[in-house]
């Protein structure tokens, strides 16, 4: 049970992290804080791609980097790759883990561009919200035995990742960082969520930011609220104060679409990917391992998509009854025919809709 709870908490933290860095301006602000200004100015942040980097092989099974970006370079026809990893706990082998991710990215590039004779630059960055600060190694040489005697250090590969340690960042420094307001708020939430007293004490200084998000970016506001509700243990008095500061309104126990995103959906997807891989291995015996894995993975992902649609429809019906009472047959019919995108839109509208007609407009 403890492992399951820890895994779900990891899902909440990672979901907020990914939402915060899903926009190019957020990546730019992080780069401006951590990397040399001349290098940052050489990058074209109007040409940023967020890459899908799920690694499926024997050594990296069921793992994925938190975010890998490809950024165009201003002065030459080249791309710089940035691997941004989010860590909640210090990892004694973090440099080794990053090297595996980096190697997989390079292998993917070479697979698409076999004529290459050089590798694109890849900058490893780690965002840490480890309580008490990062305690693990930062350089690859720190995890290789006997390198410190200096005799063979010149022939041992080495690199050091760039660290953004939120435990060392004050509330004022996070609030004054460049970049989107939601990203700055998310970084503060990640930094303070393990300390309820800190959260309560510093929340008033974020009230203006939260109010603007509530008015101008309700989806981002809702993500911040759901993160708080799912990760922070508060006394009734603390919860009442936080609800007021974060514009949460009354505590109506209505399940929303955000509950799915922050309550372990990644775990469900991982389960279906696992089922797909197992099916792929079976097929691979007769159709070639690679082809079998691909076919099985597609089948597992499709099963996960169907399950998601079913869960969303069930939640919509629950929300509707909680807000407006009986669900008309015509509405049930529309729910049954809608795809995931439409169902998510309706679920989000249900949270704040003043009338039933506002939901399906």
Q: What is the pTM of this model?
A: 0.63
Nearest Cα neighbor of 192 from 226, 228, 218 is 228
- What are residue 78's phi and psi, to 5 degrees? -150, 165
Mark 261-275 as b/e (b = at least 16 C-beta within 10 Å).
bbbbbbeebbebbeb
Q: What is the pLDDT of residues 248-257, one digit of tens each?
A: 654 443 344 4
Residue 31 tokens read as 């780069």
Q: What is the pLDDT of residues 277-327, one digit of tens each?
A: 445 545 444 445 455 545 555 555 555 566 667 777 777 777 777 677 788
Q: Is the pLDDT of residue 6 over 50?
A: no
CA dist., res. 209 & res. 247, Å (int): 11
Residue 113 tokens read as 């561009």
Q: Looking at residues 185-199, what average pLDDT do you find?
A: 87
User: What is the SS3 assignment for 160?
Assistant: strand
CA dist., res. 330 & res. 357, Å (int): 12
Query: Which range scores top for mean pLDDT: 211-225, 229-243, 273-287, 340-354?
Result: 211-225
Burial (Cβ within 10 Å: 0-12, 13-18, ≥19) of residue 198: middle
pLDDT of residue 18: 83
Q: What is the pLDDT of residues 328-349, one digit of tens each?
A: 888 888 888 888 778 878 877 7
């Amino acid at each position: 049970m403890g492992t399951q709870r820890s895994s779900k908490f990891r899902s909440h933290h990672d979901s907020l992290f990914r939402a915060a860095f899903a926009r190019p301006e957020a990546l730019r602000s992080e780069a401006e804080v951590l990397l040399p200004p001349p290098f940052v100015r050489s990058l074209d942040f109007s040409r940023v791609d967020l890459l899908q980097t799920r690694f499926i092989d024997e050594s990296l099974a069921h793992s994925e980097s938190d975010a890998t970006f490809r950024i165009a370079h201003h002065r030459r026809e080249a791309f710089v790759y940035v691997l941004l990893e989010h860590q909640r706990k210090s990892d004694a082998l973090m440099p080794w883990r990053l090297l595996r991710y980096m190697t997989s990215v390079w292998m993917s590039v070479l697979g698409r561009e076999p004529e290459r004779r050089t590798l694109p630059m890849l900058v490893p960055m780690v965002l840490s919200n480890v309580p008490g600060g990062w305690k693990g190694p930062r350089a690859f040489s720190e995890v290789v035995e006997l390198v410190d005697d200096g005799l063979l250090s010149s022939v041992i590969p080495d690199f050091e990742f760039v660290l953004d340690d939120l435990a060392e960042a004050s509330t004022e420094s996070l609030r004054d960082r460049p970049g989107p307001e939601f990203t700055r708020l998310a970084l503060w939430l990640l930094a303070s969520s393990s300390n309820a007293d800190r959260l309560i004490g510093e929340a008033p200084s974020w009230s203006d930011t939260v109010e603007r998000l509530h008015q101008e970016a309700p989806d981002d506001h809702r993500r911040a609220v759901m993160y708080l509700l799912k990760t922070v243990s508060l006394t009734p008095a603390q919860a009442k104060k936080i609800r007021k500061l974060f514009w949460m309104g009354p505590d109506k126990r209505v399940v929303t679409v955000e509950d799915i995103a922050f309550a372990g959906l990644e775990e469900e997807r991982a389960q279906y990917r696992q089922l797909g891989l197992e099916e792929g291995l079976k097929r691979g015996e007769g159709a070639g391992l690679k082809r079998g894995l691909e076919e099985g993975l597609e089948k597992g992902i499709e099963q996960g998509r169907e399950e998601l649609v079913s869960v969303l429809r069930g939640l919509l019906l629950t929300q509707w009854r909680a807000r407006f009472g009986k669900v008309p047959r015509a509405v049930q019919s529309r729910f049954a025919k809608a795809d995931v995108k439409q169902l998510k839109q309706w679920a989000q509208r249900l949270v704040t809709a003043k009338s039933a007609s506002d939901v399906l407009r």
